[in-house]
Each structure stands twice: as structure tokens, then as C-alpha cells.
Amino acid sequence: MPKQIGPRTPEGKAVPRYNATKFGLYSESRVLPEVGEEHEWLEHRQGVFGAVDPADYLEEALAERIALILWRFKRLVRYERKQVRNRQSSIHFDLALRTPQGLIR
């Protein structure tokens, strides 16, 4: 069996970086293609750093982690909303009109 190797060019190496975007919640990338913009991340990060005002290396590291966790949480909320919208659009009648006795007309 031939020995398999990964991509060798910088362009080829950049592609696997987005493998986890199939399940964007697991992506290590801060900004996912077609999901967010770099400037939005930078504004968010600056806002967190401004609020926390880190004084030393440890506080900076914690502020960075907080910014990333909050950013990913916002991504999760957007994903969840989209999934709910998609699910609701496939419902053919208003479930609010259903009762245990049957459909209200």
C-alpha cells in the first residue's frame, strides 16, 4: 500500500483547515467562509478586550478565550435558528391549531 501524504502547497494546506466547517460548531477557525466576516470577529474581540481590560498575559489569554467562546456561542445560536426555520418551513399546517382532541377548524 502506497504511503499517503497530505497537501504540499500552501493553497492545498489551507483547504483541510475548513474540514470541520461541515459541522461549523467544531471548527477551530474563528471566521467560517460564508458565515462571518473577519472584521466582525475583530470588532467582537476588541469589544471583549475593552470590557475585560486585561492587565497581564494570563488575563489576555483568558480574554481571548472568552471572546472565542462567545463568538462560537453566537455561531451556535445562528445555526440553531436556521435549523428551526428550516424545520418550520417543512410543516404543512399550523401546529398551534392542534389539540389533543384533534385539529381546530
Residue-level pLDDT at 17: 59
Mean per-residue pLDDT for 66-78? 88
Residue 102 lies in a domain: no
83: in domain: yes
59 is in which domain, residue-wise? 55-89
Strands, E assignment, the chain: 98-99, 102-103
The pairing of beta strand 98-99 with beta strand 102-103: antiparallel
Output the pLDDT for position 24: 57
Residue 28 belongs to some domain of the structure: no
Any domain includes 61: yes
Cell 417543512 -> residue: 90
Which distant-in-sequence residues (6+ apart) come within 8 Å of 72 by Cβ?
25
* 60 within domain boundaries: yes
Query: Binning pLDDT at 50, 70 and 90, where does residue 89 land?
Result: confident
CB count within 10 Å of CB 104 equals 9
Q: Which residue has the cell 445555526?
A: 79
In a domain, 84, yes or no: yes
Could you report the per-residue pLDDT of 3-34, keeping only the tens digit for each? 777 777 887 777 665 555 554 555 656 666 56
79 belongs to a structural domain: yes
Q: What pLDDT is attached to residue 8? A: 78
Report the distance separating Cα 40 and Cα 32, nearest Å.
12
Task: Look at residue 12 and tell me if it is in a domain.
Answer: no
pLDDT tens, 39-64?
898 999 999 999 999 999 999 999 99
The total domain count for the chain is 1
Using the predicted structure, report yes or no on whether residue 103 has a pLDDT greater than 70.
no
Q: How far apart are CA 67 and CA 93, in angstroms?
A: 41
Q: Is the pLDDT of residue 1 over 80?
A: no
State residue 92's pLDDT score: 62
